[in-house]
Amino acid sequence: MKFAVVVFPGSNCDRDMYHAAKEILGAEADLVWYQSANLENYDGVLLPGGFSYGDYLRSGAVAATSSIMQQIKDHAEKGKPVLGVCNGFQVLLEAGLLPGAMLRNKNLKFMCHHEPLVVENNTTIFTSGYKAGEVVRFPIAHGEGNYFCDEETLQQLKVNNQIVFTYENNPNGSVADIAGIVNKQGNVLGMMPHPERAVEQLLGSDDGLKLFQSVVKNWRESYVVNS
């Protein structure tokens, strides 16, 4: 499986994502500059954390208007996996690939520490390696991670089983303790915690490795069936 790690001006977790995919997972991966990117030959797209375009206007807002977003939307429409972490999640929200919006943390402070998460949906291509209800530890590092959506959207997320991760101890005020959601098709995941920073015990947790392993396993099974 071959991943494209999309790099925007201001991305600062791209190397972490690349390391997780290539060095730890053993998959093919490239750092792809957003202006010259051609995603046609990639099987998965990874949108890393950071401060794309300095978080001007709103976090992820400017990156969501860049030319590469149409390629990412096409990639998603084909059913290929798209993972947006932290700023990457914010970009997916701003681009309309996922519903909702991000607000400032309820304490109005940047937070950076490990958080316990609950796996609410283990039937996605990203979470099939986990058990339903399993508690995992991923680090968070954000100032605008307070996920918000209206009541109608929240009910749709619940009915469609789109809530994938929730916080065990909600650190930022996110509605319904939401830490990560997928689109209705289940192939686009946005989450604020960083699984790529939890792929080795040396980092304090390797709970994130199962997420990347799940993607590769499901891609291989799908590839074998369709080829």
> Which pTM does this prediction carry?
0.95
In the chain, which ranges are continuous DSSP H helix?
A: 14-18, 68-77, 87-94, 151-159, 209-226
Burial 208-227 (b: 16+ CB within 10 A, else e): bbbbbbbbbebbeeeeeeee
Average pLDDT for residues 87-92, to the nearest whole number?
97
User: What is the number of other CB atoms lying within 10 angstroms of the CB of residue 39?
Assistant: 19
pLDDT digits (tens, 9 = 90+) for 167-184: 999 999 999 999 999 999
Report the alpha-carbon distance of residue 127 to residue 123 in Å, rounded.
6
The catalytic residues are 86, 194, 196
Mean pLDDT taken over the chain: 95
Estimate to the nearest angstrom the gap between the alpha carbon of 161 and the chain centroid: 17
Place of tokens 């290539």: 22
pLDDT for 224 beyond 70: no
Residue % of the chain over a pLDDT of 70: 98
The pLDDT assigned to 57 comes to 82
Q: Note down the domain range covering 20.
A: 2-226
CATH number, domain with residue 34: 3.40.50.880
Contact assessment for residue 196 and residue 22, using Cβ atoms and an 8 Å cutoff:
no
pLDDT for 141 beyond 80: yes
Confidence label for 71 from pLDDT (cuts 50, 70 and 90): very high
Q: How many folded domains does the chain comprise?
A: 1
